[in-house]
Amino acid sequence: MKKNMGTTDRLLRVVLAIVLAVLYFTHTINGTVALVLGILAIVFILTSLVSFCPLYAPFGINTCSKKTK
């Protein structure tokens, strides 16, 4: 599995997951919306940890910085 997420992309996903968690625990979101956004937050955290987004692969998106030699 080749990495296709850069540092900025990973950081934004983690921040968004934290925001969603705060909204859930403060009961700002609840019900089905909370469930869907909670699953999305978990996916954001997992993809950030492995630096790979499965949705980027079919579209050829790569936010990793290119290393120059």
Q: What per-residue confidence (pLDDT) applies to 42? A: 96
With contact defined as beta carbons under 8 Å apart, do 12 and 53 qualify? no
pLDDT category, 69, cuts 50, 70, 90?
A: low
45-65 residue pLDDT tens: 999 999 999 999 899 889 988
Q: To the nearest 5 percent, what fractions of the chain are helix, strand and coil?
A: 60, 0, 40
